[in-house]
Structure 1
Amino acid sequence: MRILENIISDRGSKYAVSGGPCTSEEEAKAFVKELCRKKKYAKATHNTWALLTADAPVKNDDGEAGAGMVILRMLEREELYDHIIVVTRWFGGKHLGGDRFRHVQEAVRIYLEDLHAG
């Protein structure tokens, strides 16, 4: 499990991104459950994730409507199969509007750069 913390901060909201090998929706749910064993992540406002498998794409917005699709599109562009990416947000009290999608995209981009540098 690769975790990059405190990568984006905007108007009080903080973001982290994590990911790792994953081949099914069941494994994805187990991955998020494992991540949430860390109290900090269990208390996050959103743990949005997506996964591209040979069978079908799977995503979960976790209350951040549309964010799972943003992650999924980036996985498709990278042709990164069997690898979950989770973008975590701690809400800071101010609504970010459309900026939240840019932050999700940026978080995934940072993760992918780190993965390829890895």
Structure 2
Amino acid sequence: MDIFDGILSDRGSKYAVSGATARSREEAAAVVKQLCRKKKFAKATHNSWAVLLPDGPLKNDDGESGAGMVILRMLEREGLENHVVIVTRWYGGVKLGGDRFRRVQDAVRYYLDNRS
């Protein structure tokens, strides 16, 4: 699993992005669970994720409405299948409005550009 912590912040909210190979719904869930075993990530406000699988896409907003779809669209554009990407946000006390989607995009772009 690749984990990039502290990649950006906006008005107090802090972001990380992580990902790993996942060839099924169960593997994707296991990757998210493994990430959340780290106390810092378990305490995050949101761990939104998405994955493109042969039997269809999966996404989970984890309370950050629309974030899973943003991740999914970027994975589709990139053609990255069987790879779950998780964007983590620690809420900083200020609502970001539509900018939160830009931060999710920024985080996914960072992951796509830096993953091993």
Q: TM-score range, shorter-chain basis?
A: over 0.9
Give the corresponding residue for 1:29.
29
Identical residues among aligned pairs (%): 68
**Stretches (4+) displaced over 6 A:** none
Q: Offset of 1:29 from its aligned partner?
A: 1.0
- Is 1:103 aligned with 2:103? yes
| Partner amino acid, structure 2, of 1:104 | V
Q: Does 1:5 align with 2:29?
A: no
Q: CA-to-partner distance for each residue in 1:64-86, whole Å, 9 max, x for gaps?
A: 00000000000000100000000
Q: Could you say what the CA RMSD is over the residues aligned between the two structures, in angstroms? A: 0.6
Match of 1:92 in 2: 92
User: 1:24 deviation in Å?
Assistant: 1.2
Which structure 2 residues correspond to residues 1-118 of structure 1 after superposition, within 5 A?
1-115=1-115, 118=116
Gapped runs of 5+ residues in structure 1?
Answer: none
Letter in 1 for 2:113: E
Q: How many positions carry a matched residue from both structures?
A: 116
Please state whether the residue corresponding to 2:76 is helix, strand or coil. helix
Given residue 35 of structure 2, which amino acid in structure 1 is its aligned partner?
A: L
Q: Secondary structure at the match of 2:75?
A: helix
For residues 14 and 24 of structure 2, the distance between their equivalents in structure 1, rounded to whole angstroms, comes to 28
SS where residue 85 of structure 1 aligns?
A: strand
**Distance between the aligned counterparts of 1:104 and 1:86, measured in 2?**
10
Q: Partners in 2 of 1:33 and 1:20 — Cα distance?
A: 12
1:37-69 CA deviation, whole Å, 9 max, x = no partner?
100000000000000011100000000000000
What is the CA-CA distance between 1:28 and the residue it aligns to?
1.1
Q: Take 2:58 and 2:80, find their aligned partners in 1: how far apart are those partners?
A: 13
Counterpart code for 1:49: W
Tell me, what secondary structure is at the counterpart of 2:85? Answer: strand
